[in-house]
Chain A
Amino acid sequence: MKDMKELILPDGPRYAEDHEWAQIDGDVATIGVSDYAQDQLGDITYVELPAVGDIYKKGEEFGTLESTKAVSEVFMPISGEVVEVNEALGESPGLVNTDPYGEGWLVKVKMDDPSELDSLMAADEYGAMLEGGE
């Protein structure tokens, strides 16, 4: 298990309380899980993702991350329509562990309401939340 100071929390994405992140590019958000989440789960062995075209409200479950320890749901940090899923995770689910903010992304979503981003946390706020929860 990583110490708090070992966790990587980049400044770019916005973070949700359930440990997902959203990185914005125009009206599309790339969604993944944080370094903290992948470290808690341990080795990811299977990723269940939605289909392109599926529509979710903020907070809805959109897939699962299967690890050697458990199965965990992942929740949409913002509302929108899935426009792309990370097909590489089918063959290489471990990318979520090795590169959670890069090649280990989960889905891309066309946002309904960019103002929802305001309810997500910046890296320092998310880090403070993790510290408080320890």
Chain B
Amino acid sequence: MGAESYKTPLHDRHESHGADMVNFSGWRMPLWYPSGAVTEHRSVVTNVGMFDTSHMSVVMVQGPNAFELLQRCFTRDLRCCCGRDGVPLKPGRSVFGAFLSQAGETVDDSVVFQMTAENYMVVVNAGMGATIAGHLEAHKGAFLVKATDMTGQVGKIDLQGPMSAKVLQRVLKSPDEVLGNMRCFSFRGSLVEGSIGGDAGSIRGIPVIVSRTGFSGEFGFEIFVTPDRLAEVWESLLVGGEEFGLIPCGLAARDSLRTGAILPLSHQDMGPWPFINNPWDFALPFNHDRTGFTKDFVGEVVLGLRESADHTLPFVGRDPRKVEIHDPAVVVDSEGREIGVVLTCVADMAIGRHSDRIYSMGSPDKPEGFKPLGLSCGYVKVKSKLTRGEVVELRDHRRSIKVTIVDDIRPDRTARRPMGEMLQRKESLP
């Protein structure tokens, strides 16, 4: 740790409430609270949990050519990236994608929020604000646009879990206006009083942006607020969420939740290798038959690397036993050949096997009295594609575990359930 570690405005609160603190990308962050990472993970799947995510960076991209610069640098084609029908990004909508190098390797992944046609909020990973602002500036050429690193100037709280909307109903000034028909990857409100959304999206008079996004795979929201008011919003949510079982959660639960939901951790699951042949390459601007791209962009060279690039695939194990990725852990095929490396290996403690099927604590049809023991899961990067159902061995210096290559890990996730259904939902599945 030391003076070089950044602290979020909630740092002292985390410490005084007994959080186990760790260094993460230059930030001092809670790994778990006294309730423990298992309880926190399960609470997000069955009820609701809350994360301080103010370590993430925000880059503002503003100017007459902001759209053109993002079209040049971001992997999504912003003219046709939203919804099933591929409609253009518009104010109040956001989209997941990545920024690539000329060589087609990942610089960072990101969610781009369109505030107005000439004003975009680009949310990137902790410590990446200056890198992405610099990357955008380096590629802007004659475009009239400015990319500004806002690291430390925007606070964020992730409220995640099936009860999230009910918590917001308790604390928002005008919940119906904010939440009504709110779709996945859309947002309302503003950090500036009196702009889009008026002050409907305010909590106790504090302007917030409420975005239906997150990093857990479960229904929920990211709430943006200026750092000076972050602690007040945190406390309001805690009070409003009490009856729904809301608990603060740390990075360990965040990591296990996102892994079970097939969400990547940048610089671990994607990095200095071609961004293709992975579960997230839907973020490339493929044409309808995936033979080409619908636009030119920085990193488009990846299309030609499809044959030679490694394949990143999800896996799930037999019990919660893990291998240590920094060991390093390798992937071994049925003939004993080393075919790749393990990128992520965690335990999703809300899932378990029952009669050859994986259920989640959130599964509506889970067996009676279902008490999952958890399953190890994560991603491997291998030289050639493995087929779904194939069994491989993951090996570190201590042990080897058998895992199955899968398309998906934690079933019955709620992230995309309709808002109306979630507002009706009863708390605390038995």
| A residues whose Cβ falls under 8 Å from a Cβ of B | 1, 42-43, 45-46, 48, 64, 66, 68-71, 73, 91, 94, 97
Contacts and interface: CB of A to CB of B under 8 A. Distances in A.
A75 to B, nearest CB: 14
Contacts of B349: 45, 68
B255 to A, nearest CB: 9
Nearest to B323: A71
Contacts of B398: 64, 71, 73
Given A42-B37, A45-B38, A45-B347, A68 B20 contact: no
Interface in B90-106: none
Interface stretch (B111-119, B175-183, B284-292, B314-322): B314-322
A11 B252 CA distance: 34
B256 A68 contact: yes
Contacts of B319: 46
A45 B374 contact: yes
A68 B321 contact: no
B324 A42 contact: no
Contacts of B37: 42-43, 68-69
A42 B18 CA distance: 13
A42 B321 contact: no
A106 to B, nearest CB: 17
A128 B80 CA distance: 65
A97 B349 CA distance: 16
A43 B36 contact: yes
Interface string B302-334: 000000000000000001111010000000000
| Max chain B Cβ within 10 angstroms of own Cβ: one of A64, A71, A91 | A71
B38 A94 contact: yes
Contact of A68 (B18, B324, B347): B347
7 contacts: A46-B319, A46-B320, A46-B321, A68-B349, A69-B31, A71-B321, A73-B398
Given A43-B38, A71-B398, 17 more contacts: A42-B32, A42-B252, A43-B32, A46-B319, A46-B347, A64-B398, A66-B320, A66-B347, A68-B37, A68-B347, A68-B349, A69-B31, A69-B252, A71-B321, A71-B324, A73-B398, A91-B373
Interface string B219-253: 00000000000000000000000000000000010
Contacts of A73: 398
A46 B347 CA distance: 10
A97 B321 CA distance: 17
B374 A42 contact: no
A42 B41 CA distance: 13
A95 to B, nearest CB: 13
Nearest to B32: A42
A6 B399 CA distance: 34
Interface in B365-386: 371, 373-374
Of all A-B residue pairs in the complex, the 6 with the closest CB atoms, nearest first, are A68-B37, A45-B320, A43-B36, A43-B38, A46-B320, A1-B20
A134 B341 CA distance: 36
A68 B256 CA distance: 9
Contacts of A69: 31, 37, 252
Contacts of B36: 42-43, 68, 97
B22 to A, nearest CB: 9
B256 A66 contact: no
A70 B324 contact: yes
A34 to B, nearest CB: 17
A71 B38 contact: no
Given A68-B32, A68-B347, A69-B31, A42 B373 contact: no
B367 to A, nearest CB: 15
A97 B35 CA distance: 11
A64 B396 CA distance: 14
Contacts of A66: 320-322, 347
A73 B18 CA distance: 26
A45 B37 CA distance: 10
Nearest to A3: B18
Contacts of B18: 1
Contacts of B371: 91
Contacts of A64: 398
| Max chain B Cβ within 10 angstroms of own Cβ: one of A45, A71, A97 | A45
Contacts of A71: 321-322, 324, 398-399
B252 A68 contact: yes
Contacts of B20: 1, 42
A45 B372 CA distance: 11
B259 to A, nearest CB: 12
A94 B347 CA distance: 14
Nearest to B41: A68
Nearest to B22: A69
A68 B373 contact: no
Contacts of A94: 38
A97 B34 CA distance: 11
A46 B38 CA distance: 12
B148 to A, nearest CB: 37
A70 B38 CA distance: 14
Contacts of B320: 45-46, 66
A133 B373 CA distance: 34
A94 B371 CA distance: 13
